[in-house]
Amino acid sequence: MLKKLLAMLFAFAFVISIIGCGAKNVIGSKPVPPLEGYSKIVIAPIDVKKPSGKYEELPTMISYGAGNKLSIKFKEKTWYYDQSRDVKPVTNKMNELGLNKKELFTKPETAIKLAKAFDADLIIVGVIEEPSFTIERSGKVEYDMKDSGPTGAARYYNVGQTVILRSKLKIIDVNSGNVIWQGDLKAFKRYNTKYRTDQAEKLVREDTMVADIRKEYADNFVAKLYPERIPEK
């Protein structure tokens, strides 16, 4: 009985210690090794897992968002990435070499072949899921005492919405051929919209949420690569 009680206390203490560290430090906590020694870096076209065809431009916009921020913050390095539908130097080179986008993530030798075409010493490859959305309607009437009229305080409904963008990334050292880091990277954003009970429901448009989550993802991408210079959120 005493042994069982001690075991339970130990387990409880362990859980508390994890919670104290925060989920961020437990899930996906493996840090990216210092990348200061690399000077030419390719951001490969990100593959979309189970594409619906609705977000065909998402990989390019992801590459541009992250690549543009990195090139501004780290001018001492050379960055290769797709920038638009017409300006796709990395995708064009990939097609020229006859490389498969899916194999960039699954086969390091394919990614290395693409990187060597740019004389790069580092390449970042990834696979991303399409944005996922949730919506929550509580149906509970809330009163705003600051907004009152002849009939009393104004009554409102609240709608909660979320959007999340998930991905898996690998960073490959071209010279050694080693995957020096791999892990998950995601972006999350929540919205709360209030509207009067006598008005039509108000929601944040999906295209607005996608644009917001792309920006959030690009910020997280940069912070993940260089946490020593840009604190992670």
Round to whole Å and give the CA distance between 23 and 17: 11
| Residue 131 pLDDT > 80 | yes
pLDDT of the residue at 29: 53
Closest-CA residue to 114 (of 98, 129, 102): 98
Closest-CA residue to 70 (of 229, 233, 177, 189): 229
pLDDT band at 181 (very low <50, low <70, confident <90, very high): very high
What is the residue whose two structure tokens read 């899916």? 102
User: Strand ranges (DSSP E) for 59-141?
Assistant: 78-80, 122-129, 132-137
Q: Which amino acid is at 74?
A: F
pTM value > 0.85: no
Q: Which amino acid is at 32?
A: V
Q: Using one digit for the tens of pLDDT, what is the confidence trace for 54-78?
A: 999 999 999 999 999 999 999 999 9
| Fold adopted by 32-225 | Rossmann fold (3.40.50)
Closest-CA residue to 141 (of 127, 155, 152, 151): 155
Domain boundaries, the chain: 32-225
